[in-house]
Chains A and B, each alone.
Chain A
């Protein structure tokens, strides 16, 4: 295995993101409509995806592009006391769902990230978010795993390597952030149904 092989393995899954452009556009339009009416974004994932959840949240709260407004986003992975407390009590699958029940409302959004789509706590949180009337968005890999059908908008990456999937997720959520702002700057397209 050479460096070249490592890099080449990224090419196809990364290019496949273009095929998800319609899903991403629809998700961003729906998210922008929610932000427009005061909704907040909650992000979550376990393992490496926990760091992605935090990365998405900081993109929205503190945009790297000067002049873009701060939007309310919170990663549910940052509070170690709550994560370990809920995990030890109600169980690990409840770590995000519990927080959503406390913080979330029908105007809000849930973004779950799981490179293999087989994360019990992400699945549980998306189901809870849906019950609460939230908009649900998921980033997964392969065929979406158990997240297929669990979210209003599902972006998948055709790779079984969780590291390759993660790399495409990073591009996907950077684009999500950017396009939400594109829609927010055109408020006339944000009225009416938003797919929630």
Chain B
């Protein structure tokens, strides 16, 4: 018996059809692991410098009293919550910073969707909470969600720093004027797989968090040294 058979003898009850299928799916997992590794390399190559600049701007914003607002739909809504939770409650790994996901309050989301429309669920919350100097972080795989575009425009109107994460070729987000003037940041993960895009975006927002924390710590050390 092979190692696999010893570990999972029940799998082999299904006969040779199952054996072949198991081999296929194991190979598929290894391919996916290689795909995401390559994709992260492409992102680093394309955006390494921009990520450092963006994190420095985010650190400046926090230092000046800015807050972070995050939003996305579906799987990206869970990333919006994850990144807000990371900034707000990083445990021993960093300092807590004010961050709020605009996806979690079901009363607000359903009220806005029911009374006005789903396209305003994030923009209206930014209109209520947002101040100049705050940060808006939009997470999308397609770059085409109407409610993200509306929120990014609202954020730009209010003088917020806007950061967008998208996939494919950036979709409508790539057409937004805010992202063409060099003061805001759009990171497009060059893939057509929603899954791989989300995985690379997770790395992007973790990197932004880590670099932002580092900027804030460094600035404090520099101040103490003076």
Contact = CB atoms under 8 A, between A and B. Distances in A.
A26 B11 contact: yes
Q: Could you say which of A50, A179, A191, A195 has the most chain B C-beta atoms within 10 Å of its C-beta?
A: A179
A171 B52 contact: no
Contact of B22 (A25, A48, A55, A193): A25
B86 A48 contact: yes
A178 interface: yes
A64 B33 contact: no
Given A18-B30, A26-B8, A193-B13, A7 B207 contact: yes
Interface string A7-33: 100110011011011101110110000
Interface size class of B (residues with CB under 8 A): 35 or more
A58 B33 contact: no
Interface string A34-63: 000000000000011011101100110010
A47 B203 contact: no
Interface in B59-79: 74-75, 77-79
A175 B21 CA distance: 15
B203 to A, nearest CB: 6
Contacts of B185: none
Contacts of B32: 17, 171, 174-175
Interface in A122-149: none
Interface in B1-55: 4, 7-8, 10-11, 13-14, 17-18, 21-22, 24-30, 32-34, 36-37, 40-41, 43-44, 48-49, 51-52
Given A21-B30, A174-B32, 7 more contacts: A15-B37, A17-B29, A29-B22, A58-B78, A162-B93, A182-B28, A188-B14
Interface of A: 1-4, 6-7, 10-11, 14-15, 17-18, 20-22, 24-26, 28-29, 47-48, 50-52, 54-55, 58-59, 62, 64-65, 162-164, 166-167, 170-171, 174-175, 178-179, 182-183, 186, 188-189, 191-195
Interface of B: 4, 7-8, 10-11, 13-14, 17-18, 21-22, 24-30, 32-34, 36-37, 40-41, 43-44, 48-49, 51-52, 74-75, 77-79, 81-82, 85-86, 89, 93, 141, 194-195, 198-199, 202-203, 206-207, 209-211, 214
